[in-house]
Structure formats: C-alpha cells, structure tokens
Amino acid sequence: MLIQEKLAQAKSILQELDVDCWLTFVRESAANGDPSLAFLVGGPVTWHSAFIVTRAGQTYAMVGLYDKKGIEDLNAYDRIEAYIKGFKEPFLAMMREINPRSIAVNYSKESEICDGLTHGMYLTLQEVLGEAGLHERMISAERIISALRQRKSPLEISSMKEAIRITEDIFHSVAGFIRPGRTEKQIAAFMKEEVKKAGVDLAWEPASCPAVFTGPDTAAAHYAPTDRVVERGHILNMDFGVRYNGYCSDLQRTFYILDEGEQKAPPDVQKGFDTIVRSIENARMALHVGGQGIEVDKVSRDTITAAGFEEFPHALGHQVGRFAHDGTALLGPAWEKYSRKPFELIEKGMVFTLEPRLTVRGRGIATIEEMVLVTEQGAEFLSTPQRELLLIG
C-alpha cells in the first residue's frame, strides 16, 4: 500500500537528515489540502489534524473523532488520538511525550510542493507549541518532503509507467484523426473521448489538457485549444498526460502536416525536429546522480543555440509524480523565478521531463517532451522517445 510504503521511506529520511520529527498539520483538507497528504491518509480530514513521523520510527495521528476510523483502517499509525471538543490538549500531550529537538513542519519558502501550511495554521501551531516551549524547535520540512516526493518507490514507478503507456496509445490514435481542416478543439475533444474510454483522468486541468497548437504565432504553451484550423505546411504539437492510480504522465509530441506534393518534411522543419531530438538525448546523457539541474539544462540549451535557434524561454524539465509538475529539484537555468531549484542535487528515483522547444519560422513550434527516471547508471527513458517526425498526409 502506498501510504505504508511512503511512511517507511519517511522514517529512513528522518534518520538520514538527523531530524527528530516531521509534523504535517492540516484542517478541512478537501478544501485546503496539503500536497503531501496523499502519502499520509487515504482521504480528506475535517478538523485540525496532525500526522507525525519520528526519527525513532514511530507514527502518530491526531484527528477529530469522526475521522478516526478512516485512519485506523490504514493500518499505518502506531498511535491514533481522537478528540471531540478541541485538538490542543491531546496534541500537546503527544508532542510533550515525543519531546523532539527539531520539529519539521509542512511549510517552505522555496518549494511550492512542500508548502501546504497556511499562514493561519502556522500562527496556530506557533501559539499552541509555545505553551509547551516547543515553538522555537520548528523548522521547514522542505528537505524531508522533497526527498519523499522525488525518491519514487516501485509502486509509484509502476503507476507512472501505466500512465505513460495509456498516453502514448492515445497519441497513436489521434495521429489517425488529425487532418487538414480539423480544428485544435476537435483534436482535443477526440483525445478526451479516448481518455474516457481508457477509464483514467486527465493529468491537469481539462481546459488545457490536451494543449494543441498548430502553425505559427500560437500561444505556444499553457493555453486552451482554439478554433484554429490545421493547415498544410504547418507544424502541430500537443502537450498531454493522464493520471493513473494517482500518478501522472506528461508528454509532448510533434507532427508535420505535409503540403501538396510533399512526401517528407521540408529541410527547415526536419532540422528543427532533429535538433530537438539531439538536445533531449544530450541532456539525458548528462543527467546523473549527484549532478545539478542547471548543468543538464545548459547541455540542452547549448545544443539548441549551436544549431542556430533561439534558446527556449523555460526550464528544460520538471519532476513528475502525483502532479504533472511535482518535486523541488528542477532542470533549469539560474533564473530568479526558479530560485534554488536548479541547484538541488539530482537523486536516484527522480522522474523528470525533458522538453526543449524551438521555433521554425512560418511553420510553428517543434517540441518533444519525454519522461526519464534517474538511476545509479544515469537516466533511462520511461516514455518511448519520439525519434521520427510524425507526418500527416
């Protein structure tokens, strides 16, 4: 079971980082949930709730009375306390008993995926822990949560592989549907029907999953399909993923719409596509345990510019997991918006996208997005890499 698997992993991480206690503090999680809650409970909790993992290997849960049975059914917690009138007294009793030197709490300045604690809940926690003289022991749980999210377990990898398989099958199906005269919206609608047939969910918001872009002068990314018509001589690319068993895929594929009389893509389109393929492979070969994302991004970026194209205006790749954009470490440049993420060390078990892009003038955007798993030996493809331009007659 995922929760038991990830709690066992969390205990090991606390020992590795020499942190006494990891505390996740939430309330009304269906409306205001923490990104890591899926690793701790099977569903939403209502009242103030605390989930605690200790360096000594103990797990505690403190929840409102009506949430207790659901937590018990997980068979994941050594001790469960339920309250009726208020959480403070049972929570303080639990924390006094643990008496940790450090309390890693679910907030982070640098990583959105580790920043589930609202400001109001932070103030509440400070106030309550202050009554026991424990408030000064609070630290960010960013390092713990980052490690837990990025070190994918066998169960997580299995789910992601299936999500990728389904995504690739739908890309294969839509290739037979694309033709001149069809619109971006029609192509997206076809893919969504295929998702329904597969019995899975979209990996992100339906408005832009899939994202379909045909021809030049499009929004290029993060935008809903439009009534723009597929035309001959244009590039068409799609950004698409599904969620299977709680885990996501995130892939992009590029097509070329053959012009009248063409049997293959023209040189400018083929050069752009081949540059993308080479950029991805060079980046994959540079990705290794102990390296930094900024190094991998540079390899890919330099491949693009060396071929005479402008550099892409985004990071090379992000982590994927329970969300299409997951994790803290990033394969990206040293830009302000990415903060320290490109400088985080690469670890075994991380799953990254590799997604450079370039503009072929007058034709559209050439881009591929693959998913790779970091291993002891380097990085291996989880997706089936697109090596050939997909030609539409």
**pLDDT tens by residue, 52-94:** 999 999 999 999 999 999 999 999 999 999 999 999 999 999 9
Distance CA 21, CA 200 (A): 36
Q: How distant, in Å, are the alpha carbons of 203, 334, 386, 387 from that of 369?
A: 14, 21, 9, 12
Q: What is the mean pLDDT of residues 146-156?
A: 96
Rounded CA separation 249/383 (Å): 9
Q: How confident is the model at residue 231 (pLDDT cuts 50, 70, 90)?
A: very high
Contact 308, 299 (CB under 8 A): no
How high is the pLDDT of residue 101?
Answer: 96
Residue 331 has pLDDT above 90, yes or no: yes
- At residue 110, the pLDDT reads 92
Segment holding 330, helix H or strand E: strand 326-331
Percent of the chain scoring above 90 in pLDDT:
96
Which region holds residue 38: left if phi is over 0, alpha if psi is between -120 and 50, else beta?
Answer: alpha
Tell me the Cα Rg of the chain: 23
Mean pLDDT value across residues 324-331: 97
pLDDT the model gives residue 220: 72
Is pLDDT above 80 for 238?
A: yes
Q: What is the pLDDT of residue 1?
A: 83
| 334-370 per-position pLDDT tens digit | 999 999 999 999 999 999 999 999 999 999 999 999 9
Q: Are 371 and 164 in contact (CB under 8 A)?
A: yes
Convert 344-378 to b/e letters by CB count within 10 Å (16 or more is b).
Answer: bebeebbbbbbbbbbbbeebbbbbbbbbbbbeeee
Report pLDDT digits (tens) over 240-294. Answer: 999 999 999 999 999 999 999 999 999 999 999 999 999 999 999 999 999 999 9
pLDDT, residue 198, reads 98
What's the rounded Cα separation, in Å, for the pair 376 and 243?
Answer: 27
d(CA 336, CA 102): 30
The pLDDT of 13-23, averaged and rounded, is 97
> For position 364, what pLDDT does the model report?
97
Q: Which residues contact 348 (CB under 8 A, 6 or more apart)?
A: 151, 289, 374, 375, 376
**Distance in angstroms (rounded) separating the CA atoms of residues 147 and 163:** 22
pLDDT value of residue 348 = 97
Phi and psi for 240 in degrees, rounded to 5? -155, 145
Render pLDDT for 311-324 as a digit per residue (tens, 0 to 9).
999 999 999 999 99
Residue 218 clears pLDDT 90, i.e. is over it: no
| pLDDT for the residue numbered 195 | 98
d(CA 356, CA 315): 8
CATH class, range 151-392: alpha beta
- 């503090």: which residue's tokens? 25
One-letter amino acid identity for 381? F
Average pLDDT, the chain: 96
Q: Averaged over 90-116, what is the pLDDT?
A: 96
Q: Which of 127-131, 214-218, 339-343 bottoms out in mean pLDDT, i.e. has the lowest?
A: 214-218
* Structure-block tokens of residue 257: 């719409």
Annotation: CATH topology of 2-149: Creatine Amidinohydrolase; Chain A, domain 1 (3.40.350)
Kindly list the domain boundaries of the chain, sorted by start residue. 2-149, 151-392
Q: Is pLDDT of 42 > 90? A: no
Per-residue confidence (pLDDT) for residue 330, from 0 to 100 = 98
Token pair for residue 51? 């989930």
Phi and psi at residue 242, in whole multiples of 5°? -125, 165
Cis peptide before 210 (omega within 30 of 0): yes
Distance CA 135, CA 215 (A): 57
C-beta of residue 122 within 8 angstroms of C-beta of residue 140: no
Residue 72: phi and psi, rounded to 5, are -60, -40
The alpha helices in the chain, defined as continuous H runs, are: 2-17, 29-32, 68-72, 88-98, 119-131, 142-150, 154-175, 184-198, 267-286, 293-306
Task: Report how far residue 276's alpha carbon sits from residue 355's, in angstroms, rounded to the nearest whole number.
Answer: 9
The alpha helices in 18-66, defined as continuous H runs, are: 29-32
Distances (CA, A) of 15 to 96, 280, 329: 20, 36, 21
Q: What's the pLDDT score for residue 221?
A: 78
Burial track 61-81 (b if 16+ CB lie within 10 A, e otherwise):
bbbbeebbeebeebebbeebb
